[in-house]
Amino acid sequence: MRGNFTHLRRLLLASIACVLGAAVLTYLVDPLQLFRPSRLAFYSDDTRVQNAGLIRSQSFDTAFMGTSLAIRFRQSDIDRALGVHSLKLAMTGSNSRQQGFVLERAIERGARRVIWAMDDFIFVDAADIEADPFLSVDLYRQTTKGIASYLFSAAMAKESLFALLRSIPPLQQKLTQAAPFLPVKFALSDVDDIYALSRDFDIARDYNAKKTLASFAYITSPVRSRFLGEGCGYDAMLRHFERDAVGLITRHPGVTFDIYLPPYSILQFVAMRDASPATLKIVTDLTARIAERLTQLPNVRLYDFRAIRAVTHDLNNYSDVIHHSPVVDAMVLNWLMRGEYRVDPEAPLASLDALKAQIEAYRVER
């Protein structure tokens, strides 16, 4: 009996030692670069976690934010086109609350300019950030809880161990090459590669009219069309816009906000027109309000790219009804650089009216 209690004590003590050992390993390797920047660091596509470290370890003067529509940009392209030192913080499927929260942290760390790809649907479901299970506010704020959740984490211990192995010279090259294909999160050796498509990516294979039309048929099918308007409510969306966008902008009058409404394919609006007109009305009403409100703020430059026919009507630019190709990403940077399609504060609804006319006139080729 006594022997068994000894074994029990030994088991528990050894477990505690393992837990502490894992925490020390993560602290020393610091895969997120939360405590110290590293020249040998690797990066992750898990942007909701990765951004917490990027904001602390990178030097930047411009923050780039958006959803999956903005995730494929390369920081180097942004820097080259706009002459800035940017940090891409776009997060797939993010809502306005998450975006606002992350941008606020970036501004606190020195961003003087924000480039924000603002989708209307980010305002649909923007729950309380303090209880958000997908974005750890404590990690970003570096509270005790946040630091503990980082250090006492099997996932981070695994990443740290892999990083350690990767730093051993004989293994370095092979593990670095294999990392993107292994189940490790911190696999990218260049911060520029986060979520970016490889340079030799076959764009025509993934972005073409066939896929775009198939997606249109899918979302407008009678059994699924009700999802088009799911969660959409004008009042709630407007409230989220005021809290997350206007609130952030007015709290930071010294920061310049270049906000653009991204160029969805025309089919996105046509789908709503045909299958969910009430949703289309909510979206256009909200856009009108966004345009009127943002153009009145002195530190905002608002751009509307949604009525550029040459882009939005060419379905080869898209992989579905909203996601555009990297070719359009380059155009977006070019338009921002030249200041094209900027919404005139004197006529904030002009581009929206043009878009409405296009939606009305468009006929889908089946």
| C-alpha span between 261 and 302 (Å, rounded) | 8
By CB under 8 A, is residue 24 in contact with another protein?
no
Is 230 or 344 the residue whose CB approaches another protein more closely?
Answer: 230
* Binding test (CB under 8 A) with another protein, winner from 142, 153, 225, 316: 153
Q: How far is the CB of 155 from another protein (least distance, A)?
A: 7
Q: Indicate which single residue of 121, 129, 142, 155 sits in contact with another protein (rule: CB under 8 A).
A: 155
Considering the complex, state which of residue 38 and residue 221 has its C-beta at the smaller distance from another protein: 221
Which of residues 88, 123, 144, 154 is near another protein by CB under 8 A? 154
Residue 152 touching another protein (CB under 8 A): yes
Closest Cα partner for 304 from 271, 264, 364, 359? 264
Q: Is 147 exposed, middle or buried (0-12, 13-18, 19+ CB in 10 A)?
A: middle
Instruction: Report d(CA 267, CA 180) in Å as an integer.
Output: 35
**What is the β-pairing status of strands 256-261 and 113-117?**
parallel
Residue closer to another protein (CB basis): 157 or 343 = 157
Report whether 300 contacts 257 (CB < 8 A): yes
Could you tell me how many residues of this chain bind another protein (CB under 8 A)?
Answer: 35
Among 24, 38, 80, 134, indicate the residue that binds another protein (CB under 8 A).
Answer: 134
Q: Under the criterion CB under 8 A, does residue 225 sit at the interface with another protein?
A: no
Q: Does 3 bind another protein (CB under 8 A)?
A: yes
- For another protein, the binding residue among 37, 180, 233, 277 (CB under 8 A) is 180
Stretch that binds another protein, among 16-24, 50-58, 247-255, 275-283 (CB under 8 A): 16-24
Identity of the residue, 208 or 299, whose beta carbon is nearer to another protein in the bound complex = 208
- Binding part of the chain for another protein, among 5-13, 114-122, 161-169, 257-265 by CB under 8 A, reads 5-13
The C-alpha atoms of residue 282 and residue 291 are separated, in whole angstroms, by: 14
Residues 304-363 that bind another protein (CB under 8 A): 320
15 interacts with another protein by CB under 8 A = yes
Q: Is 222 in the site for another protein (CB under 8 A)?
A: no
Pick the piece of the chain touching another protein (CB under 8 A) from 10-18, 63-71, 100-108, 351-359. Answer: 10-18
Establish if 218 lies at the interface with another protein (CB under 8 A): yes
Quick check: 77 binds another protein (CB under 8 A)? no
Closest distance of CB 21 from another protein, Å: 8
Q: Does 182 bind another protein (CB under 8 A)?
A: yes
Residue number with CB closer to another protein (218 or 327)? 218
Q: In the stretch 94-133, what mask flags binding to another protein with x, by CB under 8 A?
A: ---------------------------------------x
Distance, in Å, from the CA atom of 361 to the CA atom of 358, rounded to the nearest integer, reads 5
Q: Which positions touch another protein (CB under 8 A)?
A: 1, 3-5, 7-8, 10-12, 14-19, 22, 133-134, 136, 149, 152-155, 157, 180-183, 187, 214-215, 218, 223, 320
